[in-house]
C-alpha cells in the first residue's frame, strides 16, 4: 500500500489523532496526515464533531450535577462535626 | 485567610460531598471521603498558608483521596486492557477502516443546542458508568479538572503513550455506546 493510501484508509489512526488533538499539540506530520484523511473521510468528520460534542456534554453533566444540590443528611453532618470537635479537643 | 474547623461541616460538607459523588459515583464512598478529608485536614492545619480559600484547600485534599480511590479501582487494569484491545478491533478492520456497522452516524443533535437534551443526558450518564474506572479517572482529570497530562500520568501511574490510548478508547467506547442507544 502506498504511503498516501495508508493515510486515507486508516480511520483507526485518524480517530486517535482527533482525540489527541483535543488536548495536545500534534506534530506537523500528524497534522498533515489528519487533514488529508479528514478531507476524504465523512465517517471521521462525524467522529471529530461528536468527539468534541461529547467532551462538552460530559463537562456540562459534571457542572449540573455539582449544582443539583446533593445534600448530606443532617445526622451524618452532626456526627461528623462532633468528631471534628473531639479531635480539636484532644 | 484562616481556618475555622468549627464551621467546616456546615460550610463545606455538602459541597465536598457533591464533588466526591460526581467522581466516584457511590454514596457511601463519597461520605467516607468527606469524613476522611476533614480528618486529614485537621492533621495538616499547620500546612495551611492562607494563600487559597479554605474550600479550595479542603478540595485539594479531597482530590488526592479521590485519586487514591481511582488507583485502587484500577489495580485490575491488566484484564481491562486486554478486553479493550478486543473491543477496539471490533471497531476497525485490519486495514484501519471502520467496521461498517460501527461507522459513525450523525446523532441529529450535533448542530442544535445539545446541552439541554435531558434524554440524551441520561443515556450519556449510563454510558459513562460502563467505562472502566481508570478510563473514567483519566477522562475526568483531563476534561473536568483540566489537570496537566504529566500530573495525571504521575498520579495514576500511567505512561504518556498509554494516557493517549486510554483517552481515545474512552471516547471511542462512549461514542459507540451513544450511537447504539440513541439512534
Domain boundaries along the sequence of chain B: 5-70, 74-182
- The residue of chain B nearest to residue A55, with distances taken between CA atoms, is B143
Alpha-carbon span A90 to B14, nearest angstrom = 26
- Beta partners for B98? B92
Helix (H) or strand (E) holding A75: helix A74-88
Put simply, the chain A residues between 7 and 66 with a CB less than 8 A from any chain B CB are 9-13, 15-16, 19-20, 23-24, 43-44, 46-47, 49-51, 53-62, 65-66
Alpha-carbon span B183 to B172, nearest angstrom = 16
Cβ atoms of residues B38 and A80 within 8 Å = yes
A83 has a chain B CB within 8 A of its CB: yes
Cβ atoms of residues B92 and B98 within 8 Å = yes
Cβ atoms of residues B5 and B46 within 8 Å = no
Residue whose cell numbers read 474550600:
B55
User: How much is the pLDDT for B83?
Assistant: 55
**Mean pLDDT, 10 residues at a time, over chain A (90 residues)?**
81 94 90 94 94 89 78 90 87
User: How much is the pLDDT for B47?
Assistant: 83
Cβ atoms of residues B43 and B64 within 8 Å = no
User: How much is the pLDDT for B14?
Assistant: 92
Measured between beta carbons, the chain A residues lying within 8 angstroms of B9 are: 77, 80-81, 84
Asked: is B5-70 a CATH 1.10.1740 domain? The reply is: yes
Of A21-30, B46-55, B106-115, which gets the smallest average pLDDT? B106-115
User: How much is the pLDDT for B155?
Assistant: 84
Closest CA to A35 of A16, A6, A7, A12: A7
Examine the pLDDT at B80 and tell me if it is beyond 60.
no
Domain boundaries along the sequence of chain A: 3-88
- The residue of chain A nearest to residue B7, with distances taken between CA atoms, is A81
Measured between beta carbons, the chain B residues lying within 8 angstroms of A9 are: 95-97
State which fold the B74-182 domain adopts: Arc Repressor Mutant, subunit A (1.10.10)
pLDDT tens digit sequence for B138-164: 888 888 888 888 988 888 888 888 888
Give pairs for A56-61: CB < 8 Å, separation 24+: A56/B114, A56/B115, A57/B114, A57/B115, A57/B120, A57/B121, A57/B124, A58/B124, A58/B128, A58/B139, A58/B143, A58/B144, A59/B143, A59/B144, A60/B115, A61/B121, A61/B124, A61/B125, A61/B128
Residue of A9, A23, A81 lying closest to B95 (CB–CB) = A9
Helix (H) or strand (E) holding A35: helix A28-40
Amino acid at each position: 500500500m502506498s504511503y498516501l493510501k495508508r493515510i486515507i484508509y486508516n480511520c483507526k489512526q485518524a480517530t486517535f489523532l482527533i482525540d489527541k488533538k483535543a488536548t495536545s499539540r500534534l506534530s506537523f506530520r500528524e497534522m498533515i496526515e489528519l487533514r488529508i484523511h479528514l478531507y476524504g473521510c465523512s465517517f471521521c468528520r462525524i467522529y471529530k464533531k461528536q468527539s468534541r460534542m461529547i467532551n462538552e456534554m460530559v463537562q456540562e453533566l459534571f457542572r449540573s450535577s455539582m449544582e443539583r444540590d446533593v445534600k448530606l443528611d443532617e445526622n451524618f453532618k452532626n456526627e461528623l462535626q462532633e468528631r471534628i470537635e473531639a479531635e480539636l479537643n484532644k | 485567610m484562616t481556618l475555622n474547623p468549627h464551621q467546616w461541616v456546615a460550610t463545606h460538607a455538602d459541597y465536598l460531598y457533591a464533588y466526591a459523588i460526581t467522581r466516584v459515583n457511590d454514596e457511601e464512598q463519597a461520605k467516607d471521603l468527606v469524613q476522611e478529608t476533614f480528618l486529614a485536614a485537621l492533621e495538616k492545619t499547620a500546612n495551611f498558608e492562607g494563600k487559597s480559600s479554605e474550600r479550595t484547600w479542603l478540595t485539594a485534599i479531597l482530590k488526592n483521596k479521590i485519586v487514591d480511590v481511582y488507583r485502587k479501582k484500577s489495580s485490575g487494569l491488566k484484564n481491562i486492557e486486554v478486553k479493550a484491545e478486543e473491543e477496539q478491533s471490533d471497531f476497525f478492520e485490519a486495514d484501519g477502516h471502520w467496521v461498517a456497522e460501527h461507522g459513525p452516524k450523525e446523532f441529529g443533535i450535533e448542530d442544535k443546542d445539545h446541552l439541554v437534551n435531558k434524554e440524551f443526558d441520561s443515556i450519556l450518564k449510563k454510558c459513562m458508568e460502563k467505562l472502566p474506572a481508570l478510563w473514567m479517572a483519566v477522562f475526568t482529570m483531563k476534561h473536568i479538572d483540566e489537570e496537566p497530562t504529566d500530573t495525571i500520568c504521575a498520579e495514576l501511574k500511567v505512561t504518556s503513550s498509554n494516557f493517549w490510548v486510554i483517552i481515545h478508547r474512552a471516547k471511542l467506547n462512549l461514542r459507540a455506546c451513544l450511537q447504539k442507544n440513541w439512534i
